[in-house]
Amino acid sequence: MSSLNHFKSFFTFLLLKIKGKEPVRTGQCHQCGQCCRAFRVKSEGKWIKTSKQLDILVKQKPEYSRLIISGESEGCLDFTCSWLTQDGSCKDHENRLSICRAYPGTTRFYTGNKLPEHCGYVIKAAVPFEKVLQKKIRRMTHSN
Ligand code: SF4
Ligand code: SF4
């Protein structure tokens, strides 16, 4: 990420913090498979850029051997997955990778990393439900 993008992310983070908001994920996965067709993978906090880095990751976490290098963009490797079926579903959804379970992470709101078109999830800035609830409880406690 460039310094300008780092600055933009930090600025967005501060702005939300001031407003008491956070990126909140809503919706659900309808298993269209778009995010499994082209994605990047991080290892030890850094995007994988070489097949050697992928080999190291697979040695550490054999479940990543399902990844297939599909290309390269912006200096990073792009992957698809051998578990992706013709109809766009996962061959074994119950045993999908941990990165698939965590997808889509809310930090993409700061980085401007868009979700695939027609993804069933939406990530937007909102006051998290827990905060709204805490505020409501505090008000009720003080009014008694
Ligand atoms: S793009 Fe969204 S809806 Fe489609 S499989 Fe991925 S997470 Fe699910
Ligand atoms: S393991 Fe399943 S959910 Fe994860 S990328 Fe592969 S096909 Fe998609």
SS (H, E, C) the chain: CCHHHHHHHHHHHHHHHHHCCEEEEEECCCCCCHHHHCECCEECCEECCCHHHHHHHHHHCHHHHHEEEEEEECCEEEEEECCECCCCCECCHHHCCHHHHHCCCCCHHHHCCCCCCCCCEEEEEECCHHHHHHHHHHHHHHHC
Lowest mean pLDDT of 30-34, 52-56, 93-97, 128-132, name the range. 128-132
Q: Is the CB of 29 under 6 A from ligand 2?
A: no
Q: Give, using CA atoms, the residue closest to atom 7 of ligand 1.
A: 29
Tell me how far the alpha carbon of residue 143 lies from the centroid of ligand 2, in angstroms.
50
The pLDDT-based confidence of 75 (bands split at 50, 70, 90) is: very high
For the Cβ of 100 lying below 6 angstroms from any atom of ligand 2, the answer is yes
**Domain residue spans in the chain?**
3-143
pTM of structure: 0.79
- 96 CB less than 6 Å from ligand 2? yes
Please write the tens of the pLDDT for every residue from 86-109. Answer: 999 999 999 999 999 999 999 888
